[in-house]
Every structure is written in C-alpha cells, then in structure tokens.
Structure 1
C-alpha cells in the first residue's frame, strides 16, 4: 500500500471538500484519488469520509488522523526536496595544478550529462591522497607506484585493446611506428619518477 500517496489524496480531498476538487489539487484523476482513499480506509480499518452527502465530510476518525497525515505528506515533500538537492551536490575531486581549465570544463560537462556535478580542488601530489583520506574530497588523481597499483594500463593510458607486450616504449606510440592508431601521452611533472 502506498501510504504517502493515500495520505496525499486524503489531505487534498479533505482540504478541497470534494473528491473531484481534491484530486485536481493532488494532480491525479478522481478515480485514482478514490481508490487511494479506499485503500487507506481498508488499511486503517475505519472510514475517513462520510459519503452520504455530495460533499466529502470527514468522519470523527478522519478528523483525528488528518493532522498526522498532513505531517506525513509534508515530510515526504521535504524528503523529495532534500534528495533532489543531494543529487545536485557536487562531487569534489582533487586534481593536479597542471590540469588545464578547458579539460576540466569538458570533464565537468560530460559528468553533468550523467547527472554528476563535479567540483575541482587543485592540490599538490602529497596533499591529494590526504584529502581523500580525511574525506575533504570524494576522489583524487594520485600517482601510484607500479608495485602498489591494483590495476594498471600502459603509461596510465586506458584503452580498449591490450598492448602486445607488457612493456611499452614511448617510441612505439609515435604515429607511423606502431602501425595502429595514434595514442596521446600526457605526462605531468609529478610523473617524473623512476617507474614511469
């Protein structure tokens, strides 16, 4: 049983004074409002409205539960509002200071198409991992030594096809030498470590 939907119909009909007007206020068809209220009455085991007149008049039981039903509807509306706001809350990501504004803007635009809002925080290499650990950001771009990585790709490049050998040399990535598609290598100053 949809308790919130039933209470929403119940509150609307009680405030409007008729099933037709109450259904219009709740933006549902009148037969749906009637079914929801009937289901609510079956759930409670008591009638909410006296249906002997043309107007929807509350029964004593209906008057007693109406304030709580109103609070439930208001709480459901608040929950929906908070959930929408939480979905719009940006996901904070720590990035190197060498990341270009254009690339970050393109990444943010691509993320928005997937209903993810990114907020970037520029930080030096050592600080980014600490920001994730202290939960000041939700994610960070960090360099991981070869032996500590859980997964690896050649030179940090993600691709669909695995390279033919475990070791990839930069000269094989140059156009015309490898015989395949051109690959772009973006090495940051912080990548100048022995394992790269």
Structure 2
C-alpha cells in the first residue's frame, strides 16, 4: 500500500466532505479514491467515514486519526522540500586538465556562485574525466577529442629553456609576465633535428651530430588518437627513434625543461606561467581538441551552460592559436587538418 497516497485521499475527503470533490482535488477518479479509503480502513481496522447519511461525515475513529495523518503528510512534504533544496545546493564537480591555471579555476567557482550553482573543480587526466562522466561522479568535464571535431581548440607547442644569455630577472618570450610582442614562429617537427656544429676556424663540421633533446609528452597528450598522430608525425619528420617519450611528474619535466635538458609539449598559458619559452606546432592536427560534456547520470546537470563553456575555454587556453601556426593563406584549414590527421 502507498501509505502517503492513501492518507492524502483520507485527508482530502475530510477537508472536502465529499468523495467526488476530494477526487477532483487530487486529480484522480472517484472509484480510485473510494478504494483507497476502503483499503485504509481495513489497514487500521475501523471506519473513517459514515456513509449512511446524505453527506459524508467523519467518524469518531476518523477524527482521532486525522491529526496524525496530517502530521505524516506534513513531514513527507518537508522531506521533499529538503530534498529539492539539497539537489539545488549540491556541489557539481567540473573536471579539467591538470595544466589549468589556478586563477582560471577560481573564476569558474566564482561564476558558479553568481549563477546559483555550487561548483567544485578537479584537475584530472583524460581517462578519469571520461570515467567520472560515465559513473556520475562528475557533472561536467572537458573531454579530449580530435581538434578537427572539437568546439574548443587549444594550440599545442614546444616548450624549451630560455636562452642562456637572457637576463635572469627578465622573462623570455612566452614567459609569465612577458610584455606583448610578436607571436613566436610556428615550429615544424623537422626543426627539432640536431644540427652539426662547425669549428670557428675552418667552418668544417666539428664532430658528429649532437644528440637531440628528448621531447616529453604529459598524460594530456597520451590519449591513443593523439599519441598515434604525434608518433607518426615524428617518424615523418625523420626524428631519432626514442626522441618522443612520456614525461614523469609534471614538476620534474618542467625542471628538466628549464634546465635545458629536454623539451616539453605544452600549451602557451602553461609555458607563460612557468617561464618556459614556447612556440606553437605548425601541424594543427597535433593540437589539442576539447568537447565540454555533461554527465547523463547526475540529476539536474543538464547540458553544459554556455557561461561555463566560455570559462573552461579560457582556462585551457582555447582560441589563442597563433596565425603562424595555421595553414598558408587561402587554404582550407579543416581540409589540411584532416589530411594531416590521416598521415
């Protein structure tokens, strides 16, 4: 028995002193209401209404039970209100890549409060972001997709150490706090091949070709489709085998990069925050693509709000692609990207 529905029928009939009016008030058929009253009477073991008169009247037994029935219904309604309030105030977790800046994440949380939504932000690698959307532990996430299919495109580039002769207190190009200047020249992977040095006297090669600096990739660029594209591009460029390798902890990779021992694939905002010299990859099919998605398993999440999409785009550096990184003028960028993606 649905006790609340049956108590509703009982209280409404007392209030209206009529089976038909009570049924109309509850939006149900009168025979259904009558069955509910009869079932309730059988459950409690006594008549609630005197049906022998022209007008329905409540029995003494019914009057005795009425305040308790009303109390149960009032408590149930308060419970529903608390549940609704809890759903509205529940923290909705947004998952973003680990290399977002703290200021950008703070703006996401603040904007959520301004829109009446409690947001929490978690920095996760690509696979946990997908898993969190699937199991409902995340409300929203930025999902890695090929750049040609992505609503948000983030230029990926090569980060390296500042020049040795750069003043220690002056940030290099692309470093945090650097004054606005010309955009860095786009990097072809072929440019990363080591060049023979020449002796100063005769201009002849001064020995064998030096070893190329390793190119490190973080977990964000180790998703299968991205790693495969990058590996094929490195092979086409004729770079030494083993030059491309996964980075360990990001802090360690960053320290090695600043020491000039390796190069790091990263975004421009990340490079700027950490004083790394940055130049975008010319091949746009190697850039990062993101799709903002909402979990279908979290009640009330719905689609990703537009205001949140714009903040997430700013957080990952979407829309900051250098013109130099694109295809030559007059070419179809999407066509070039698709061809490059196919190798």
Q: Aligned-pair distance for 1:53?
A: 2.1
Partner Cα distance (2:42, 2:282) in 1: 74
Q: Does 1:182 align with 2:182?
A: no
Q: Aligned-pair distance for 1:181?
A: 6.0
Query: 1:6–1:36: 8 Å Cα contact kept in structure 2?
Result: yes
Partner Cα distance (1:160, 1:28) in 2: 57
Q: Does 1:97 align with 2:103?
A: yes
Partner Cα distance (1:69, 1:51) in 2: 20
SS at match of 1:28: coil
Q: Does 1:16 align with 2:16?
A: yes
Mark the runs of 5 or more structure 1 residues left unpaired by the alignment: 121-138, 145-152, 188-196
Cα 1:24–1:98, aligned 2, differ >3 Å: closer, same or farther? same
Match of residue 170, structure 1, among 265, 270, 285: 265
Number of equivalenced pairs = 148
Which residue of structure 1 aligns with residue 117 of structure 2? Answer: 118
Cα 1:88–1:160, aligned 2, differ >3 Å: closer, same or farther? farther
Which residue of structure 2 aligns with residue 141 of structure 1? Answer: 122
SS at match of 2:52: coil
RCO higher in structure (CA 8 A, sep ≥6): 2
Cα 1:160–1:69, aligned 2, differ >3 Å: closer, same or farther? farther
Q: Aligned-pair distance for 1:28?
A: 2.6
SS at match of 2:218: helix
Partner Cα distance (2:68, 2:24) in 1: 22
TM, length-normalised to structure 1: 0.58
Which residue of structure 2 aligns with residue 127 of structure 1? Answer: none
Partner Cα distance (2:67, 2:224) in 1: 59
Query: 2:105–2:121: 8 Å Cα contact kept in structure 1?
Result: no
SS at match of 2:103: coil
Higher strand proportion:
2
| Structure 1 residue runs of 4 or more that deviate by more than 6 Å after TM superposition | 92-95
Q: Could you say what the CA RMSD is over the residues aligned between the two structures, in angstroms?
A: 3.9
SS at match of 1:63: helix
Q: Aligned-pair distance for 1:142?
A: 5.2
Give deviations 1:56-100, integer Å, cap 9, x for gaps. Answer: 211221111011011111111111111111111141769922338
Cα 1:100–1:142, aligned 2, differ >3 Å: closer, same or farther? closer
Which residue of structure 1 aligns with residue 74 of structure 2? Answer: 74
Give deviations 1:15-61, integer Å, cap 9, x for gaps. Answer: 11010111222333322211221221121122211111232211221
Partner Cα distance (1:20, 1:4) in 2: 19
Cα 1:10–1:182, aligned 2, differ >3 Å: closer, same or farther? same
Larger Rg: 2
Which residue of structure 1 aligns with residue 250 of structure 2? Answer: none
Q: Aligned-pair distance for 1:7?
A: 0.7
Query: 1:96–1:141: 8 Å Cα contact kept in structure 2?
Result: no
Which residue of structure 2 aligns with residue 57 of structure 1? Answer: 57
